[in-house]
Chain A
């Protein structure tokens, strides 16, 4: 089926099967590399994108369900964004594979005022895993962004 998606402010038409997951559309049809598949079952958050500003796991979201919504990937976040800058300043990354998902989740937390304490930030990151173990610095970065 042909569907038109709004990705990072651009209207993009793709021809996909109705069961194709959004992450595959973004990677294979839109040539974005920010959303990534690690677990494929909605647990790790490396495939996180914002759907009308809310973080979702794009590995378990069928692409047609994103119709009519604004899809934002890391590529759609300005380079001088405050959360991005805080991750950079705090050196909150190692390999970086999980980081776009972390940044998108963090943006949502900062915007909704749900990053008021380190404990709350940790709770908010429950669905974003980092095997390199950068959690301490990631929490530092989000704490700084929320100030």
Chain B
């Protein structure tokens, strides 16, 4: 049978409609910071329901890691923050009503840049920091009171612990007053640099779409979400209900890449459905999708010390993440960005401070790569700069320092099943590194998987001889239905036609942490193996449960960052037009460790898709703001890669006989920008900021020649 995704026999969240539903539109703040002083809705029809911040006050605040957000804002935190909702019988009436509402504000000072936000003089975006009770707050939050920092993650390897240090560093301390200066005592060369990455948009082709409905006192929400169980819990808390009184159905998504995680428009849709006593649908316009959630802009200051022979001695990193007006899962991103920035290398000493900072911009949250992309850019560009300084070949410098089986990572965990050297050799070969390195660059990285987490699954045998798979894994386009079908067909040794996989419905399927961090193939395949084993032992239902334990101490970074590691490398060969600064990508190659591949075409697509998205991040994708206003929220001003950009792409999935299944949803994202950046650098430029637009490339010329016109 032809796949339903080709013939449009699939129903995405945006296709979900129910009879009698009304339509929701949001009125958004026209100021980046301040207070709503008046809402005039007199021009709105009587048949339209108007919901104001006052109406939602009793629900309190929510937030997956920090409880910082009201369902509607009386004190907007960014330009575009929803302040009023209107609900009407038709979409047109809702749009007209939204346009007829007049909101008055009193503005207060705003801050937009992450480095400005951490200055002592910066206006405070939120007066206080309150940790969320949600399961999604899976580690201890370390907000810095009286500052915009809502989480501070630290790594201090054993020799650097227990010292009296400032809570907040705005710059790398000069060696004279650095409390950690002795970490670099054995280094012959110490090198440091600052790197930046901009905010970016996920651009899922399908917008966020939600239908909420109250049925006999229970809330039912059908929505595109990667996090049905987190959403159920957060909605239950908002409405003071037990979790069982909330049902979340995660409809198939037309792409997400992190955009459809945690609470998005579900809370306001549920409030609206209650207010009008009918089902309510909310679909965002494209410009609203751009502002709904973004990728964290970041500034990373990094210092590396090495001996003359190339052996790494110490690394110090200060990372500043711009999480916008609400924290979302920014603290989690800060943590991952912190340890991923160390890279897959051995050091005697590591000190990392990763600060998640509020600003008055749209919120930033989960994004394919989850912080690893931002810090791998810094880590891998800096290794190449150091290689230049030491006059050591960048491949050899990395080889000398790579983590191998039995080595300890900076978190103290002992590495196993490492394949970094093979990956390094593979990507070097792909660009014929041995034949000269002009125009060529390589990069390597490690990335963690959600730890701790829990996956449960059930397989039910149906009277007609088929099997129904109950799994919380959401299909955002990665093809989870197809993967689950294959896995279970294999486990039970039956034809795939006999397997059915309903979409995740919290009333039906057992708990799963969430479909993120490329964890699902790995975790769910093992839970299903258990379920299949139990089913074979008799009965009509088999259940499986897999837990991965771990977590990091927020002060020292000690612990288990990841129960297994995503390992990836990339290489690039480019030419640059010296007059225009335009980069011509001749080859872009990525090699990702896959362990055992379950579904080859789907795995290849994940790898290629990651590379293509990262190519866009490298060369042209960037959200632009002017005084807090998102100025390019559409596909004519914000470009994504087309078929024409992808001719140079090649890749490999590295397998190892009998190895665990490794998720591949993101592995090829982080190494691509620095591989391209290092290739550009080999031609006499010094890129430190993404994307590498022609103007930035020209401005980064090392010989200081003026930019060509």
Contacts and interface: CB of A to CB of B under 8 A. Distances in A.
B293 interface: no
Contacts of B15: 33
A131 B479 contact: no
Interface stretch (B97-105, B113-121, B501-509, B605-613): B605-613
B605 A91 contact: yes
A99 B647 CA distance: 19
B477 A97 contact: yes
Contact of B255 (A74, A87, A132, A136): A132
Contacts of B610: 133
B14 A131 contact: no
A7 interface: no
A98 B205 contact: yes
B6 A135 contact: no
Interface string B574-615: 000000000000000000000000000110111011111100
Given A38-B205, A38-B635, A135-B612, A96 B642 contact: no
Contacts of A129: 205, 635, 640, 642
A139 interface: yes
Contact of B609 (A77, A91, A94, A119): A94
Interface string A109-138: 000000000110111011011111111111
B640 A131 contact: yes
Dominant secondary structure at the A interface: loop
Contacts of B646: 122, 133, 135-136
B8 A33 contact: yes
B167 interface: no
Contacts of A98: 205
Contacts of A137: 601, 604-605, 608
B6 A84 contact: yes
Interface string A69-95: 000011101010000110110110111
A107 interface: no
Given A40-B286, A126-B642, A96 B6 contact: yes
Nearest to A103: B6
B10 interface: yes
Contacts of B636: 39, 41, 43
A122 B7 contact: no
A97 B255 contact: yes
A38 B255 CA distance: 11
A36 B14 contact: yes
Given A33-B8, A99-B5, A103-B6, A41 B634 contact: yes
Contact of A131 (B10, B257, B608): B257
A36 B641 contact: no
A134 B642 contact: no
A117 to B, nearest CB: 11
Given A96-B477, A97-B12, A131 B255 contact: yes
Contacts of B477: 94-97, 132
Nearest to A33: B15
Contacts of A97: 12, 205-206, 254-255, 477
A60 B403 CA distance: 54
B476 A95 contact: yes
Chain A interface residue number, banded: 35 or more
Contacts of B165: none
B206 A36 contact: yes
Contacts of A118: 647
Interface in A36-67: 36, 38-41, 43-44, 46
Contact of B601 (A91, A103, A131): A91
Interface string B633-673: 01110001111101101000000000000000000000000
Contact of B204 (A43, A96, A123, A131): A131
B391 interface: no
B635 A44 contact: yes
Interface in B1-46: 2-8, 10-12, 14-15
A34 B8 contact: yes
Contact of A36 (B254, B478, B635, B640): B254
Contacts of A132: 205, 255, 477, 605, 609
Contacts of A77: 7
B643 A95 contact: no
Contacts of B605: 91, 94, 132-134, 137
A42 to B, nearest CB: 9
B8 A88 contact: no
A90 to B, nearest CB: 8
Most chain A C-beta atoms within 10 Å of own C-beta, residue among B6, B253, B608:
B6
Given A95-B477, A119-B647, A125-B643, A133 B612 contact: yes
Nearest to A40: B286
Contacts of B205: 36, 38, 44, 46, 95, 97-98, 129-132
Given A33-B15, A38-B206, A99 B6 contact: yes
A94 B15 CA distance: 18
A134 B612 CA distance: 9
Interface in B88-124: none
B524 interface: no
Interface in A1-57: 32-34, 36, 38-41, 43-44, 46
B203 interface: yes
Contact of A74 (B7, B476, B602, B640): B7
A89 to B, nearest CB: 10
A87 B649 contact: no
Interface string B475-508: 1111100000000000000000000000000000
Contacts of A119: 647
Given A41-B636, A122-B647, A139-B643, A95 B601 contact: no
Contacts of B640: 129, 131
A97 B6 CA distance: 9
Nearest to B650: A136
B371 to A, nearest CB: 20
16 contacts: A32-B8, A34-B8, A75-B8, A91-B602, A94-B478, A97-B206, A119-B647, A125-B642, A125-B644, A126-B644, A128-B642, A131-B202, A133-B605, A133-B612, A133-B646, A134-B609
Given A33-B12, A126-B643, 5 more contacts: A41-B635, A74-B8, A96-B5, A97-B477, A135-B642
Closest 5 CB pairs of A and B: A95-B477, A96-B5, A97-B254, A133-B609, A133-B612
Interface of B: 2-8, 10-12, 14-15, 202-207, 252-255, 257, 285-286, 475-479, 601-602, 604-606, 608-613, 634-636, 640-644, 646-647, 649
